[in-house]
Structure 1
């Protein structure tokens, strides 16, 4: 079963028209996907994508096409080798070793390969991963640059230690799902009335944590946090997200001012590359009980490693499309387990909820075995464009059971929102 073709699409949704997804750094996003289909010689398909917010999506698509020659003619019998082929190429690696748009492109192709392999196996990716032996899982990971924090042997011990009870945890997930939190009420461009209405609706829908975007205007943030707190009551957690807006000193001062509203965490308070800055913010905010979370723009496992070594974050926020797909996220999940940090993935966007649910379910089943302080972000946008969309019930992701990675978009949506010539844009 050889890969015989790589098909790409530039798909964009005009979310900026209603300010869905708006935050302090990204006020007018058009949620987009550089989308890829791997076509195999037996007619099988694998679907994947990487997420952008509009302009530049064509660059990600071109990067995927530049990696296609490394894929065509190969297969998915060894997904560790598949991933290394895309991230180790000596000439392409010069463009940015394991970072930037080339890493986004690798993520799209690697995720598509996992989708293909899981479809062939007749399982959803989370079950497919959970069924792999510990030594097979560690073979999927690129161990370069990690051994000072986590060795292959330590990772194997973690996975072996998690094996007892795995069947019971899988059964639990199938029955009960996985906890979620929502950002649907908190976009920065929403009116106060919409913020209050959607916050109340989130609590009624069973969410125990909501998230607000902050960072543009301190007085506005204080007012919006008070409104949200009054709307949801004292028992519901409220996280806040600055989307990298501040310098370190600004982050400390701003969050100290917001502390009376009892924010549960501050997400992306500064540059995602600033490890020491995150550590300083965390130390300063600990007395107020405010956690520090980051990860959606952390570009690779090495930055995550250093964040954990420096005790710079309380919450690890993996992203299914930012690092090089499933394989690199396996490494990050194991790093988080080694350092005892909860993983609360970034989602929303186009299809990020669909993908990352599989990684969190696998983490509970086969890595951490824990649900305390763990939840997946949920945003009620654009799920209708997917063949196997997420299902949320009582504030919990319901475990997907269809084979694959839940990544396939409907053909009608690919056509309607094709940029720039699809009907939605023409």
Structure 2
């Protein structure tokens, strides 16, 4: 690592036409084209790091531009300086006086994820293993504790990690043998017909899945019918979660879920605006007597909103997203707050590269922090994995730990050639035959 310098950062707009089959459709996002801003960090030693942040098609170009703007703060930096003072470096790029938050914070995730991938590749370890092997002091040194010390301090975080250290070897052995449990959302996209839902329920049960999620929120009558279809397919002994993707008012969420309570959902995900901490708290208070938890986090903008959701008992399940807040450093802070406040983390995944990334984070949590799979499960969606050089491995509905160095974020060259937007071969073909309109030159 000594003498290694970041010489160039390349950013690409990569999109996949998932809207053609309604893959990923929900009450809020009816026609998503799963996409990402894809970052490649190049060094003078030939080692590269790859990172991304997930998007839904239109507007990806804005995130790409933000990544390029952040890149100007990084090119020319010595790699050793980044990783030896990662928390300070993270604060530098998230608190630059003229460049803060919003889309910029989303772009930060792509760049920071690429830096962690680079670090793991330098150390020749998969990211989960790199995180596990860091001492408590080293790991905590990567986290910016500004704004969250009223919940957890740097020293508290170190002590929590030290208290789990003796169990890490046995937990690692268990992880390698058994993996971590997954649930599938593949059966529950809103645009799917009832027949397709039945077919997918059967398919995923045969693959060993016993936990399923369905999208709800557009029409109550349709939700009742679709939940009934899924329950008939999976029976009463398997878990069902519901996801409204932010479409309801607070009172509406409570009443809607009372109508769906008979299907015994484990949780309702994103019942209202992801920024409404008190609204989530009210919904959670009303639904707990019905045995329904509240889950949210995939659209949380930063660790501070997570802090407030946890403090207010507004969520029963904390859903970190590997590409939403500012990369691994900020996500580690959320895991530590959730640990202290005794809220299980169940990562959101399913978009481009999200499954590939969150598995590493949850595996670190299992080995170094929580030590349990009780009430902890990782979302799985069977899409876009074929585009990655090191895709997830699912065995009997469990994520098996990656062994290839890095954050599992490198997209195949052929996929970039075909799906970089708008110049990719597949996009040019679809423009030519009129499946999608060709973007204007402006």
Q: Same fold, TM exceeding 0.5?
A: yes
1:38 matches 2:41: yes
Q: Which is worse superposed, 291-300 or 363-372?
A: 363-372
CA displacement at 1:191 relative to structure 2: 0.2
| Correspondence 1:306-345 to 2 at 5 A | 306-345=308-347
The superposition leaves residues 330-368 of structure 1 with CA deviations (integer Å, 9 ceiling, x where unpaired) of: 000001100111100000010000001000000011111
Cα distance in 2 between the residues matched to 1:86 and 1:367: 28
Cα distance in 2 between the residues matched to 1:167 and 1:324: 30
Cα distance in 2 between the residues matched to 1:337 and 1:107: 22
**Secondary structure of the structure 2 residue equivalent to 1:90:** coil
CA displacement at 1:199 relative to structure 2: 1.2
Cα distance in 1 between the residues matched to 2:408 and 2:89: 20
Q: Structure 1, unaligned stretches of length 5 or more?
A: none
**Secondary structure of the structure 1 residue equivalent to 2:214:** strand
Match of 2:51 among 48, 53, 58: 48
Instruction: Specify the alignment match of 2:32 in structure 1.
Output: 29
Instruction: Specify the alignment match of 2:118 in structure 1.
Output: 116
Structure 1 consecutive aligned stretches of length 4 or more whose deviation exceeds 6 Å: none
The superposition leaves residues 39-73 of structure 1 with CA deviations (integer Å, 9 ceiling, x where unpaired) of: 01100000001110000000000000001111101
TM-score (norm 1): 0.98
Instruction: Specify the alignment match of 1:166 in structure 2.
Output: 168
**Secondary structure of the structure 2 residue equivalent to 1:22:** coil
Kept in 1: contact 2:66–2:107 (CA 8 A): yes
Q: Which is worse superposed, 179-188 or 72-81?
A: 72-81
Match of 1:6 among 9, 14, 24: 9
1:15 matches 2:18: yes
Kept in 2: contact 1:181–1:209 (CA 8 A): yes
Instruction: Specify the alignment match of 1:144 in structure 2.
Output: 146
User: What CA RMSD, in Å, does the superposition of the two structures yield over aligned residues?
Assistant: 0.8
CA displacement at 1:383 relative to structure 2: 0.2
**Secondary structure of the structure 2 residue equivalent to 1:164:** helix
**Secondary structure of the structure 1 residue equivalent to 2:404:** coil
Instruction: Specify the alignment match of 1:80 in structure 2.
Output: 87
Cα distance in 1 between the residues matched to 2:168 and 2:95: 33
Kept in 2: contact 1:347–1:356 (CA 8 A): yes
The superposition leaves residues 358-390 of structure 1 with CA deviations (integer Å, 9 ceiling, x where unpaired) of: 000000111111210101100000100000000
**Secondary structure of the structure 2 residue equivalent to 1:203:** helix
Instruction: Specify the alignment match of 2:437 in structure 1.
Output: none
CA displacement at 1:213 relative to structure 2: 0.2
Cα distance in 2 between the residues matched to 1:156 and 1:203: 41
Instruction: Specify the alignment match of 2:293 in structure 1.
Output: 291
**Secondary structure of the structure 1 residue equivalent to 2:267:** strand
The superposition leaves residues 61-95 of structure 1 with CA deviations (integer Å, 9 ceiling, x where unpaired) of: 000000111110113332333322211211212xx
Kept in 2: contact 1:242–1:268 (CA 8 A): yes
Cα distance in 2 between the residues matched to 1:192 and 1:254: 21
Instruction: Specify the alignment match of 1:90 in structure 2.
Output: 97
Cα distance in 2 between the residues matched to 1:131 and 1:334: 17
Kept in 1: contact 2:88–2:144 (CA 8 A): no
Cα distance in 1 between the residues matched to 2:120 and 2:197: 39
**Secondary structure of the structure 2 residue equivalent to 1:400:** coil
Instruction: Specify the alignment match of 2:425 in structure 1.
Output: 423
Instruction: Specify the alignment match of 1:176 in structure 2.
Output: 178
Cα distance in 2 between the residues matched to 1:146 and 1:419: 39
**Alignment: residue pair count:** 421
CA displacement at 1:139 relative to structure 2: 1.0
Cα distance in 2 between the residues matched to 1:266 and 1:200: 23
CA displacement at 1:208 relative to structure 2: 1.9
**Secondary structure of the structure 2 residue equivalent to 1:270:** coil
